[in-house]
């Protein structure tokens, strides 16, 4: 009873204890706990077992992890005997990474609280309505803007450069030295279900269009983005109590909700909502409330999340946020009660998208309603339950003022279509309305990176971690959006059939851009990963050269304002420094990068995409 009572509220009922079952939704308690027999049983879902079964199923752990978890709660030390040397080495490496992440989190946290250099970070938190107490509860930290501060601390702790790279805190430069991933950022520790720090999410403090607002740790031995939801370690009890989960767009929104007593809030981490995320949520609840920004990107995120959640039989509603507001800003302006009212009044997913469509286009004409009905039919077909699917057909047909038989027929047609081909159908529908489609612009260097990414999972993993670099060069080199689509939507398989299937799913303009022998049947270099490093370095240099040329052209304009001239000159100096020494952003020390030498990038992609 004490064990289960530490997870969920229980009440005495004679010689036993009862509570609402944590494994399925119910209004009246049917979950019975027998302290004498050390046994539980749910008369609703029929789940039963002992303490070990409860911990394993409640926390979604393996048998071994459940034993360790239960032993930890009981104060029992488990001595493990290594059998497989590889497993023992992996266990030690994992333990070393966990220790490193924990110590780094404490270091960043102490800097935020006490360092004079972090005053602007503390001011930012205050401007968002957060104080020292919140920072301590969530162990929020600050990554120093001077890399030497962190590297000096790492040396004092005896940390190796290899461990810093394996943790995702640093990147080994080909030119030698370490490049720190997080600089002058507010640091939010990312924790696993047990509360261990496994990664970080860094929030930009000074506006910089060349860098993303948020940067997350890359995937490591500890951190798999598709398996982690920010705040879930704190939100599990709140989700069970509320019988629903509130999915926010960003970490600060989730934290703001918790600080205001809305304890069922979580957030994904820099990646699209995945089937794994839905599976994790399904362990705790069958109702999800999506709370994303009221813009086109937020609307797209709502639809993508719906697709994954509904496949797990999770009911989806969407909180209608006012334009320009997020949960944090809305609560600061209107109070927590007003936000709770928004949550309570959140419409179903289909009411949400119909209302959005009405506000942005004409659904009064039969043509407009018919076209939108096709989109709804494809979404309705995703419901795994035929009864709910039929109910949704009735509801959507009524709201769109169209015939139920016609919508039913469209849903049946969509349900028979292979899921992997549904996006292709949408792309084809869009292309049919265009008489002539031109290839999307694609710089040869970016085309080479696209080709490498299409054929090498290892390259996709590397480039997925280069968000900042790709963001920086996007304004100067054509084709970055195509590359980003490859990085986010390609499967792990690298066989030719998988490559062809993926390319076929792209819009025609992007297919035409990639349609070359080099793309479809590229002979991979001996080391694709090294080739991608070289190509990315060349792309960065080319982007800087183009930006420098545009700055010089702007400076040549007559009657340029003095302030603008100073800004351009400052940026020109920064570019000259970067082009003059590609190692100026790397920290080279005897310990972390001995005998560092810069290699001149080769250009195997020089003639890539040429018509010769």
| Per-residue pLDDT tens digits for 246-298 | 999 888 899 999 999 999 999 988 666 788 899 899 888 999 999 988 777 77
CATH of the domain at 217: 3.90.980.10
Backbone dihedral region for residue 115 (phi beyond 0: left; psi -120 to 50: alpha; all else: beta): beta
Distance of CA 275 to the CA centre of its chain: 13
Q: Domains in the chain: how many in total?
A: 5
Question: Residue 270's pLDDT is what?
Answer: 62
Query: Which residues, in sequence order, are CB contacts of 370 under 8 Å at separation 6+?
Result: 402
**pLDDT tens digit string along 447-465?**
889 888 888 888 888 887 7
Query: b/e for 90-110, b at 16 or more Cβ within 10 A?
Result: eeeeeeebbebbeebbebbbe
| 3-class secondary-structure state, position 186 | strand
Question: Residue 437's pLDDT is what?
Answer: 67
Say yes or no: 565 and 531 in one domain. yes
Max mean pLDDT among 113-122, 291-300, 535-544 falls in 113-122
Max mean pLDDT among 19-33, 276-290, 413-427, 568-582 falls in 276-290
In a domain, 594, yes or no: no
Does residue 136 contact residue 186 with C-beta atoms inside 8 Å? Answer: no
Distance CA 33, CA 15 (A): 9
Distance CA 599, CA 445 (A): 18
In a domain, 499, yes or no: yes
Question: Residue 432's pLDDT is what?
Answer: 40
Parallel, antiparallel or unpaired: strands 48-49 and 39-42: antiparallel
In a domain, 313, yes or no: yes
- Residue 587 predicted with pLDDT over 60: no
Question: Residue 299's pLDDT is what?
Answer: 82
Distance CA 64, CA 91 (A): 13
3-state SS string for 310-323: HHCCCEEEECCCCC
In a domain, 166, yes or no: yes
Say yes or no: 505 and 395 in one domain. no
DSSP string, 128-161: TT--HHHHHHHT-EEE-SSHHHHHHHHHHTT--H
Say yes or no: 46 and 105 in one domain. no
Query: Which residues, in sequence order, are CB contacts of 560 under 8 Å at separation 6+?
Result: 554, 568
Q: How confident is the model at residue 584 (pLDDT cuts 50, 70, 90)?
A: very low
In a domain, 206, yes or no: yes
Nearest-5° Cα angle at 521, 218 to 418? 70
In a domain, 435, yes or no: no
Strand order in the sheet with 39-42: 11-13, 16-19, 31-34, 39-42, 48-49
| Listed residue (491, 375, 383, 500) closest to 426, CA to CA | 375
Which of 28, 54, 74 is a domain's end point?
74
| 3-class secondary-structure state, position 198 | strand
Distance CA 485, CA 504 (A): 13
Say yes or no: 49 and 11 in one domain. yes
Exposed (0-12), middle (13-18) or buried (19+): which is 433, by Cβ within 10 Å?
exposed
pTM: 0.60
**pLDDT tens digit string along 17-74?**
999 888 887 778 889 998 888 889 998 888 888 888 888 888 877 777 888 888 877 7
Q: What is the mean pLDDT of residues 125-133?
A: 90
Say yes or no: 260 and 384 in one domain. no
Neighbouring C-beta atoms of residue 403, cutoff 10 Å: 11
Question: Residue 547's pLDDT is what?
Answer: 85
| CA dist list (Å): 364 to 84, 113, 357 | 68, 57, 11
Of 35-44, 202-211, 536-545, minimum mean pLDDT range: 202-211
Say yes or no: 123 and 200 in one domain. yes
Of 134-138, 201-205, 246-250, 424-428, minimum mean pLDDT range: 424-428
Distance CA 123, CA 129 (A): 10
Question: Residue 329's pLDDT is what?
Answer: 87
| Structural domain boundaries enclosing 370 | 353-416
CATH of the domain at 270: 3.40.1360.10
Torsion of CA 254, 258, 261, 265, to 10 degrees: 50
Of 26-30, 38-42, 334-338, 491-495, minimum mean pLDDT range: 491-495
- Residue 429 predicted with pLDDT over 50: no
Say yes or no: 453 and 562 in one domain. yes
* Average pLDDT value for the chain: 81
Say yes or no: 210 and 289 in one domain. no
406 or 472, higher pLDDT: 406
54 or 91, higher pLDDT: 54
Say yes or no: 257 and 207 in one domain. no
Q: How confident is the model at residue 4 (pLDDT cuts 50, 70, 90)?
A: confident
Determine phi and psi for 180, rounding to 5 degrees: -80, 130
Does residue 204 contact residue 193 with C-beta atoms inside 8 Å? Answer: no
Say yes or no: 361 and 401 in one domain. yes
Question: Residue 605's pLDDT is what?
Answer: 47
In a domain, 315, yes or no: yes
Say yes or no: 335 and 386 in one domain. no
Query: Which residues, in sequence order, are CB contacts of 264 under 8 Å at separation 6+?
Result: 235, 238, 239, 241, 242, 244, 245, 246
Query: b/e for 209-230, b at 16 or more Cβ within 10 A?
Result: eebbebbbbbbbebbebbebbb
Does residue 581 contact residue 573 with C-beta atoms inside 8 Å? Answer: no
Say yes or no: 233 and 219 in one domain. no
- Residue 428 predicted with pLDDT over 60: no
- Residue 247, beta-bridge partner list: 266, 290
Of 226-235, 300-309, 407-416, 495-504, minimum mean pLDDT range: 495-504
Question: Residue 211's pLDDT is what?
Answer: 63
Which of 320, 346, 372 is a domain's end point?
346
CA end-to-end span of the chain, whole Å? Answer: 76
Of 144-158, 181-195, 507-521, minimum mean pLDDT range: 507-521
Residues in the chain: 612
Q: Which alpha helices (H) appear in 220-266, and where do they start and end?
A: 232-242, 251-259
Which of 370, 399, 416 is a domain's end point?
416
In a domain, 358, yes or no: yes
Q: What is the mean pLDDT of residues 151-157?
A: 92
**What is residue 419's DSSP assignment?**
G
């Amino acid at each position: 009873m004490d064990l289960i009572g530490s997870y969920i509220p229980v009440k005495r009922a004679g010689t036993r204890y009862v509570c609402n079952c944590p494994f399925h939704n119910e209004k009246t308690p049917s979950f019975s706990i027998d302290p004498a027999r050390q046994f539980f049983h749910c008369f609703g879902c029929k789940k039963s077992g002992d303490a070990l079964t409860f911990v394993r199923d409640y926390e979604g752990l393996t048998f071994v992890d459940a034993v360790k978890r239960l032993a930890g709660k009981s104060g029992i030390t488990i001595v493990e005997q290594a059998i497989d040397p590889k497993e023992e080495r992996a266990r030690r490496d994992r333990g070393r990474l966990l220790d490193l992440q924990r110590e780094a989190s404490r270091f960043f946290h102490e800097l935020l609280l006490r360092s004079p250099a972090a005053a602007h970070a503390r001011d930012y938190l205050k401007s968002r309505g957060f104080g020292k107490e919140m920072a301590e509860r969530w162990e929020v930290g600050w990554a120093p803007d001077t890399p030497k501060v962190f590297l000096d601390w790492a040396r004092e702790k005896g940390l190796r450069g290899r461990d810093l790279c394996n943790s995702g805190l640093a990147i080994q430069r080909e030119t030698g030295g370490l490049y720190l991933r997080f600089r002058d950022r507010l640091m939010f520790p990312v924790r696993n279900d047990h509360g261990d720090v496994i990664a970080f999410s860094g929030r930009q403090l000074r506006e910089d269009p060349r860098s993303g607002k948020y940067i997350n740790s890359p995937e490591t031995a500890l951190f798999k983005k598709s398996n982690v939801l920010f705040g879930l370690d704190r939100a599990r009890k709140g989700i069970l109590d509320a019988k629903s989960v509130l999915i926010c767009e960003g970490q600060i929104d989730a934290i703001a909700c918790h600080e205001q007593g809305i304890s069922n809030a979580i957030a994904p981490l820099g990646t699209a909502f995945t089937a794994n995320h839905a599976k994790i949520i399904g362990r705790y609840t069958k109702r999800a409330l999506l709370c994303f920004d009221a813009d086109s990107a937020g609307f797209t995120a709502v639809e993508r999340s719906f697709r994954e959640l509904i496949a797990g039989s999770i009911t989806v509603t969407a909180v209608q946020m006012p334009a320009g507001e997020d949960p944090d800003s809305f609560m600061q302006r209107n109070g927590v009660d007003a936000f709770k009212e928004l949550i309570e009044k959140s419409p179903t997913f289909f009411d949400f998208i119909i209302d959005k469509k009405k506000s942005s286009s004409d659904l009064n004409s039969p043509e407009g309603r018919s076209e939108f009905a096709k989109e709804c039919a494809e979404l309705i077909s995703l419901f795994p339950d035929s009864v709910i699917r039929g109910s949704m057909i009735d509801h959507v047909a009524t709201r769109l003022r169209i015939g139920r038989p016609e919508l039913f027929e469209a849903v049946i047609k969509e349900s028979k279509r292979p899921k992997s081909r549904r996006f292709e159908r949408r792309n084809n529908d869009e292309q049919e309305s265009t008489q002539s489609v031109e290839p999307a612009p694609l710089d040869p260097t970016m085309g080479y990176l696209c080709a490498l990414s299409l054929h090498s999972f290892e390259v996709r993993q590397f480039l997925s971690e280069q968000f900042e670099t790709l963001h920086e060069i996007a304004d100067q080199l054509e084709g970055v959006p195509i590359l980003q689509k490859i990085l986010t939507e390609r499967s792990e398989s690298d066989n030719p059939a998988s490559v062809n299937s993926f390319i076929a799913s792209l819009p025609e303009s992007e297919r035409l851009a990639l349609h070359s022998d080099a793309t479809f049947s590229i002979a991979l270099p001996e080391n694709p990963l090294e080739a991608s490093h070289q190509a990315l370095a060349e792309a960065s240099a080319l982007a800087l050269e183009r930006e420098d040329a545009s700055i010089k052209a702007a400076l040549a304009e007559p009657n340029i304002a003095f302030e603008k001239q100073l800004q351009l000159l400052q940026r020109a100096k920064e570019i000259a420094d970067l082009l003059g020494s590609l190692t100026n952003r790397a920290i080279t020390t005897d310990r972390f990068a001995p005998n560092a030498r810069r290699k001149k990038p080769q250009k195997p992609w020089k003639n890539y995409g040429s018509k010769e």
